Every structure is written in C-alpha cells, then in structure tokens.
Structure 1
Amino acid sequence: MTITASASAQRAALAAALFLLLMALPAGATDRGPVTNLPLPRYVSLKAAEGNARRGPSLGHRIDWVYKRRGVPLQITAEYGHWRRVQDRDGAGGWIHYSLLSGLRTVLVEQDMLALHRIPSTDSQVLARAELGVIARLGECKPDWCRISAEGQSGWVPKTALWGVDPGEIRD
C-alpha cells in the first residue's frame, strides 16, 4: 500500500512540475511542427505560379484546390513529411508539397484603396494607395502597424487591414 501511495504522490508531483513548466513558456511555444520544429500555425507564401492543395499529404490524394497567384500568403496548420497543410484567408486549402512554399512573408490587402503612410500614424503623409486583394511583401511590424511594399511602393498600414500577419506579431 505504501508503494502505491508513493507512486501516486510522485505522479502528482511530476504533473504539477510539468504544469508549472508549461505555464512558464511563452504562449504557443508548445505548438511546434513535428517535422520542422517551427511554430504552428505560421505564415508562408506560395513560391510557385501554381500550387495544388490536396486532400491528404501525398500525390495519390485528390486535388481539392489550385492556387494560381505566386506570392499568395498561406497559413501552415500542420506538417507531415514533405507536406504542409495550408489554408488561405477564406479557410480553403489542403496539403501542399513544401517545395512550392517560401518563407518569404507576404500579406493580402483586405481594404480597398488602403493608404500607405510615411510613418506608422494616420496623421502622416500618404505615399500611395493599395487596392483590395493586392499581395504585398511584409516588412517591419509594430503592435498595430506593418510596413508593406508592392509594385515599387512602400509604406505603413494598420495591421487590421491585412491578412497574413497575427494581431500581436512584432517584426524587425
């Protein structure tokens, strides 16, 4: 009886220690891809001019979706071997071979005629405007603003007007 109680107490102490360790980690630090050990979910872009999103992680699975815009931002939600499960801003997606994806960060403009500002402030000079649906390269991000560039123009925009960057994400 003493051995069982001791083993039970050890399990409880181990569980408590594990709980405290997990609580000390930054949010999301335990959500890592089993293949790359990179955070999940995370954003990438389509490297190829066309990419097939399949129902499962192999060439034998049916194609459910075909992406036809180079640079479109995608969110990786799972990994399996050389395959990454992705979704777009509308939640559509599937499994894409990793060779079709790039770590280059892009975003999708979700506001028509979005003003690109000289500095991260609505009071600053407007340098250009981006139409709804433009794919832009993502640069530095502050808590509420990101610097983007597209077609030779760049400037600061509110983070809420973009898809492909998390609300709390900071980038140098």
Structure 2
Amino acid sequence: MRRTVMKSCLVLAVAFAVSAGTIEFAQAQAAKGPSGLPLPRFVTLKSKRVNLRIGPGTDYAVSWMYLKTGLPVEIIQEYDNWRRIRDADGTEGWVNQSLLSGQRAAIAAPWMKGKGKGVYVNLRREAQPSSSIVAKLEPGVMITIGECSGEWCFAKTDGAEGWVAQSEIWGAYPGEAFK
C-alpha cells in the first residue's frame, strides 16, 4: 500500500513537472513577436534622427523626433517592418526596424532625475556591492552595456567602465542575463 501511494505521488509530481514545463514553453512562445524575437525587449536607436510615428507606416504623422544615436528603447509590439517602442520617459510610438540596433545601452536611474544633489548610481570595479567605486553616475546618464548577470551589468561611459547594479538602470530587465 505504501509503495502504491509513493508511486502515485511520483506519477503526479512528474505529470505536474511536465505540464509546468509545457506551460512555461507556451508562455515563452506567446512572448515572441512575428520576428521570432522576444517581446518586450531592449534595443538602441541606430540613427542620429529617428521619427517616432503615431502608427506603423510612413503615412502616419510624426509625433516626436529622437536626435541621439544609441539611445535605449524598449520594443513592445511588432507589425511588419515596424516596431512600437517605449522610451525611458514612457513615450510610445512606431519606428521602422531599420532604425534600430540590437546593441545594448541603458540609462542610469532615470526615475531619480531631479531628486537633488548627492543622488548617484555607483559604477563599481567588480560586480559586488562592497567593491570600490570607479565613478558616480548622475541619474539620466546614458551608458553602454556589454553583459548582464541578472544582478549586475558591465557598463562603459565617457572614460569609465565597471559594474552597475541592474536594479539601478533602465535598459535591462530585472533578472535578465546576457553576454
């Protein structure tokens, strides 16, 4: 009797694990856009001048123009060759995919902009909170990121490089890891 109960529990545990794996796989598939790439995802602006449109096509009005190459944006929707993006301020609109790059960048704590003097994001020598500080970044400073561990990102900015806490930047999701 005891073995039968244990076998039943084992069968249920395996069935649960398989169904959970199937659900995870289905959720991962549902989170992909028509391009086959995940949604949402972070990219950067490839061009110096990028028109943000109110709809997916050149027939739609331009609502904003970006003038900064390398600015991080988040792709939240895809339609044909058009990508609906969101910037760090929450502004949304459509951009042609040819104006976007897969290179990664981030903005240091944009939500802390204007909070007063003495508010900084620390760039550290190593990916540890006790590591020495290489530079203090003002909120809103743009950085390039090369890799993230899920907790820390390796970042470069004007003359300084080091590790920044992933929770203190906009341009990488919490827990996202990549090289």
Equivalent residue number for residue 103 of structure 2: 104
Question: Superposed, which structure 2 residues align to 1:6-155 within 5 Å?
Answer: 22-25=22-25, 27-34=27-34, 36-110=35-109, 112-155=119-162
Equivalent residue number for residue 162 of structure 1: 169
Structure 2 residue runs of 5 or longer lacking an equivalent are 1-18, 113-118
Give runs of ≥4 in structure 1 deviating > 3 Å: 19-22, 26-29
Structure 1 residue runs of 5 or longer lacking an equivalent are 1-18
Distance 2:123 2:26 in 1: 32
1:65–1:93 contact (8 Å) kept in structure 2: no
Distance 1:92 1:167 in 2: 21
Distance 1:86 1:136 in 2: 19
Instruction: Choose between structure 1 and 2: higher helix proportion.
Output: 2
Distance 2:128 2:28 in 1: 30
The Cα shift of 1:94 comes to: 0.5
Overall identity of the aligned pairs, in %: 37
TM-score of the aligned structures, taking structure 2 as reference length: 0.78
The Cα shift of 1:106 comes to: 0.5
**Which amino acid is 1:67 matched to?**
Y
Aligned length: 153
1:116–1:127 contact (8 Å) kept in structure 2: yes
The Cα shift of 1:50 comes to: 1.7
Distance 1:168 1:124 in 2: 21
TM-score of the aligned structures, taking structure 1 as reference length: 0.81
